[in-house]
Structure 1
Amino acid sequence: MGMSVMLSRLAYGFEGAPQMLDHILLGSSDLDHGIAFVESQTGVRAAFGGVHPGVGTRNALLSLGERRYLEIIAPDPKQQNVDADRLNVLKKLESPRLIGWAVHPGDLEAFVKKVRQQGIAIEGPFPGSRVRPDGRVPKWKTAALKEDNEGPIPFFIEWDKGSVHPSSDAPGGCRVESFSIASPDPDGLTSEFRKLGIEVVVQRSEEPELRARIAGPKGAMDVRS
């Protein structure tokens, strides 16, 4: 699909998920606490997803519908000698909050090439993997802007063709009821999105922020960055 990531319906207060949303990341300083937090509000208990070797994190997952999911990510206590920016952010969290989101632009190699042709500094694609409890190792590639790999601008992901997408076997019953973005510089952020082929309306706020409402059988969970 080339460079166009069709998110034209995404806006502040938009009901539903961005069209090309892959997953939303909910950070927690403790995985069990993050799982309990989500379950207490949605009624769905996320399943342990596995560990990220060498990265220092582990996760739990729940499906948000076809090919989209919520990732609860937290430090892995068994990986003590890892120093990474995201890991340090997670350790400092006092309560679960959104720390990022990912979209799938199709062919990631081609997408990165076209982004660079726009003069935008983007890193990747980088290979990634996770060891599941059943021993399977799903693999993927990611890319992210050098200046914003944590925040309103998503990172980009392409799953290995031989890997099962997490949404296919994660616990279901939840959906994205709303997803929104706010920024103190909405015009500037909107311009950045457009350079990436992402059509998105950004509202003004004092601080950059992601906001999501995830509905489950028990009720809705409102989370922010």
Structure 2
Amino acid sequence: MRLTFDHLVHFVHRTPQEAAEQFCQAGFHAVAGGRHSSWGTWNSLSYFGLSYVEFLAVEHEELARQSENPLVRQCIEDEAKGEGFGQIALRTDEMDAWAERLRGQGLQVTGPVPGSRTRDDGTTLRWRMLFLEDADSALLPPFLIEWSQTDEERREDLTNRGIISAHPNGAAHLKSVGYAVTDLEEATARWQSWFGWEKGEKFHDKELGAICQAFELPGGNVVLCQPTGEGLAQTAWKNRGQRPFFARLAGASKNSEYKIGGGSYFLRALE
């Protein structure tokens, strides 16, 4: 069953509009999203095709603290860690089949959880989410998302609304998102067991100071990174634990690095 990288969740402690403005100052195109009225959260967005970054913030803390949505709970629980990347979502159009499969593997599965968000123009987006827990591991599995629209319908709608648009700095594609992990072999085996993915060759990333393992996915790869010494991976692991910590994007005329809200965005020129 196919999974596609859908989005990176970037927890922020400012308004989503302020987060979008900071992203725009770095040359990216970012727009206001809307409110999750039943969860007490709101967001802003930056799209690279159908892959995107979601800046997620708590708007109504009391409501958010009462929410049973695992992502909202994580957003609250991670507040002490400061701003930074929290989760990724993988897209599917076979949500019920994945729920059955993952439960059969012994994972604790929450959902499918219905979701919706009201846009500023009053229209409502709808989707379903599936949250996973592996009792035998300290790793945080990604969650799955299934949109009510097809990919083609979403792309046309988002483009017509100006939500998908060119980035002034040239960024065009989300290439990968990386996780800091304590034990690369164990983490690789866990991700393989969850989703049945094939792993590539291990490699050393001097820029991150880590030994890494990549899984290739449509929409953006997932890279697991075990720190080998002082460097970005070790700093991220110490500060935020086994969480996403970088996003690599491609399409610019020159290489750039942006530190934004506790996350690292690497923009690379197309080869």
TM-score (norm 1): 0.76
Question: Is 2:76 aligned against 1:88?
Answer: yes
Residue in 1 aligned with 2:248? 213
Question: Is 2:64–2:76's contact at 8 Å kept on the other side of the alignment?
Answer: no
Q: Secondary structure at the match of 2:64?
A: coil
The match for 1:118 among 92, 105, 129 is 105
Question: Is 1:61–1:171's contact at 8 Å kept on the other side of the alignment?
Answer: no
Question: Is 2:87–2:243's contact at 8 Å kept on the other side of the alignment?
Answer: no
Any unmatched runs of 5+ in structure 2?
68-72, 200-212, 214-223, 228-233, 265-271
Residue in 2 aligned with 1:12? none
Root mean square deviation, CA, Å: 3.0
Instruction: Give deviations 1:47-74, integer Å, cap 9, x for gaps.
Output: 1111001211101112111x21111111
Identity %: 23
Post-superposition offset of 1:119: 1.7
Instruction: Give deviations 1:154-177, integer Å, cap 9, x for gaps.
Output: 110000137736854414323324
- Distance in 2, Cα, partners of 1:53 & 1:127: 13
Residue in 2 aligned with 1:22? 6
Matches within 5 A, 1:1-225: 2=1, 4-5=2-3, 20-30=4-14, 31-41=16-26, 43-65=27-49, 67-77=50-60, 80-83=62-65, 84=67, 85-89=73-77, 92=80, 94=82, 96-147=83-134, 153-161=141-149, 164=154, 168=159, 169=161, 170-172=163-165, 173=167, 174=171, 175-197=173-195, 198-200=197-199, 201=213, 202-205=224-227, 207=237, 208-210=242-244, 211-214=246-249, 219-221=256-258, 223-224=263-264
What one-letter code is carried by the residue in structure 2 that aligns with 1:133? D
Q: Which one has the bigger strand percentage? A: 2
What one-letter code is carried by the residue in structure 2 that aligns with 1:52? H
Question: Is 1:138–1:164's contact at 8 Å kept on the other side of the alignment?
Answer: no
Q: Secondary structure at the match of 2:191?
A: helix
Question: Is 1:213–1:220's contact at 8 Å kept on the other side of the alignment?
Answer: no
Q: Secondary structure at the match of 2:106?
A: coil
Question: Is 1:47–1:171's contact at 8 Å kept on the other side of the alignment?
Answer: no
Matched positions, count:
204
- Distance in 2, Cα, partners of 1:213 & 1:156: 21
Larger RCO (CA within 8 A; separation ≥ 6) = 1
